Amino acid sequence: MHLFQLKYLLYLALNGAALFFLFASIMGIPGNPDPDNKKEQMILDLWGKLLIVAYKGIPILATIAFVAFLFHFENTGKIISYVNVTFGFSMIVLVAIYWKLKS
């Protein structure tokens, strides 16, 4: 029984990592964007759209994953946790691409 609860905590920790990635990406955009650089504008537009989806979606998905594990729907909770951490990680990747373009 305790081993199953430990696996649930692992997947719920992935949801916590997604929240960390989300907040780190919000704090990670450096400086002012260059209005003449089309690549920077494209990345920032994509980041802004993804930010809206992730900011509203990550906490909702984390709650759904918690409820799924609570009612012993393990596969549903796992899939939702993976999707959640993918949202968060994509935010960090976009910030890394922006940093690369900026330097």
Whether 14 is in a domain gets the answer yes
Whether 83 is in a domain gets the answer yes
DSSP H helices in 1-103: 2-27, 38-70, 74-102
Whether 33 is in a domain gets the answer no
22 alpha carbon, distance to own chain's centre: 5
Q: What is the mean pLDDT of residues 81-94?
A: 89
Q: Name the domain count of the chain.
A: 1
For residue 69 the two structure tokens come to 């594990």
What is the per-residue pLDDT across 53-82, written as a single tens digit (0 to 9) for each? 888 888 998 999 989 988 888 899 999 999
Whether 77 is in a domain gets the answer yes
Give this prediction's pTM.
0.78
Domain ranges, residue 44: 2-28+38-102
